Amino acid sequence: MVDRPNDTTLSIFISNSPAPAPWNANGPLSIDSDGATIHLSGDTSEQLRAIKQAARKLSSLTRSASLQGDWNTDQSFAFCTAFNDARQTYKVQVAEQDVQLKNALAAHAFTVELINDTPQNVSPEALAQRAAKWLSGLSPEYISYTTITGEELLEAGWNGVYEVGRGSDRPPVLLDLDYNPTGNPDAPVNTVLVGKGITFDSGGYSIKPSEGMLAMKCDMGGAATVTGALGLAIMNGLAERTRLILCCAENLISGHAYKLGDIITYKNGLTVEVVNTDAEGRLVLADGLLKASEYQPKRIIDAATLTGAAHVAVGNHYNAIFSRDTALRALAMDVAEQVNEPAWPLPLEAFHQHNCPSPYADTANSRPQKGGGAGGASNAAGFLSRFVPDEGKGWLHVDLAAAFNSSATDTQPAGATAQGIRMLAKLLN
């Protein structure tokens, strides 16, 4: 193997031919005096996975790479996002200027940086402000926004966000952002994106163990993902009016925190008994979905790092999707395949609304057992479906099982992956 200092820019080639001797002919990688070559075989999914695996291996040789030869946008994106670290200190030079690639990498970098930042830096207010600032910078003439903060939430009736966030000294926030490129203030809203923005999740009084709490800065991954997706869609020329709602809170313990046995009354009159303060994401998203419904959009799409059950079901390479709108679910699956962001549908039926019963309220927010019991991801989606109109027509829920890795994998650096931003952006455009 060629010995290269860590600060040397390594040329990277791709080839559809097997690796030459003495390299393993079935292996994905060879290195010579010109640089490294990634050898591709199989279908597109297998090729992109091989590129990511090779990028991870090459990241141990150098922090700087230059892509040479005929790389397409998806191949370049796969390499650039895998050849990095949690602090985004690696650099990749791309031979030709590809606007689609440039936009995707910019949205990816924003999303990853926001999720990987410390929970001290990313308070609920900071999350809302950073999302609004970034999007406003992309399209200042078409974006306006408002925030509802702290006690204002209680006064406005957004009780889910308020209750989850009231235990923290840093107040909860509901961001409502309007992207309207039509110039018509009465233009209909095509899509509302809703993101779970729990900037740190201790679990509340249903407290997590330390090892389960360490990565909980990523619990605002839904908010970061929908923001990154909207930004990418804007950069790619989004022409439809779109709104973004972020439900931002810290789930902490204090004398003012919400407790097990509390009952939350939502704007639609539904009452919810809290049987697990660590099932807080659905409580804030319920407000976001109700707010989204007020705009009577064609579609509502929410994204959240919502359940460990989804991660158990699909692993860390897939996001889980839920919808009772079969056409929208099929479209989301098709788009996910087109942009090479693996996703998989999990069950959601009307009966899932009733799988968390309460003798004291219309429903509980979970089941009082570890992980919410069997079918926990579907039951969480069923809970959310109570807060969308038309029996879920036009609503898509994305449980971001692939949003974050506590340590590096064979295809991704440690930290945020931003998986989902390209799928959601393409659904918008």
Q: d(Cα 123, Cα 251) in Å, to the nearest integer?
A: 11
Whether 107 and 421 have beta carbons less than 8 Å apart is answered as yes
For 181, other C-beta atoms within 10 Å of its C-beta total 17
Instruction: Mark whether 282 is an active-site residue.
Output: yes
Cα torsion 226, 229, 234, 240: sign: negative
* Residue of 52, 166, 243, 282 marked catalytic: 282
231 vs 156, 239, 303, 338, 411, CA distance in Å? 28, 13, 15, 19, 25
As a whole number of angstroms, the distance between CA 378 and CA 181 comes to 36
Kindly report whether the peptide bond that precedes residue 22 is cis, defined as omega within 30 degrees of 0. yes
- Chain-centroid distance, C-alpha 195: 8
Pick the catalytic residue from 57, 63, 91, 208.
208
Specify whether 324 is catalytic: no
Of the CA atoms within 13 Å of residue 7, those in its CB half-sphere come to 0
Q: Half-sphere exposure (CA, 13 Å, Cβ side) for 132?
A: 20
Cα–Cα distance for residue pair 403/115, rounded to 1 Å: 9
By annotation, the residues acting in catalysis are: 208, 282
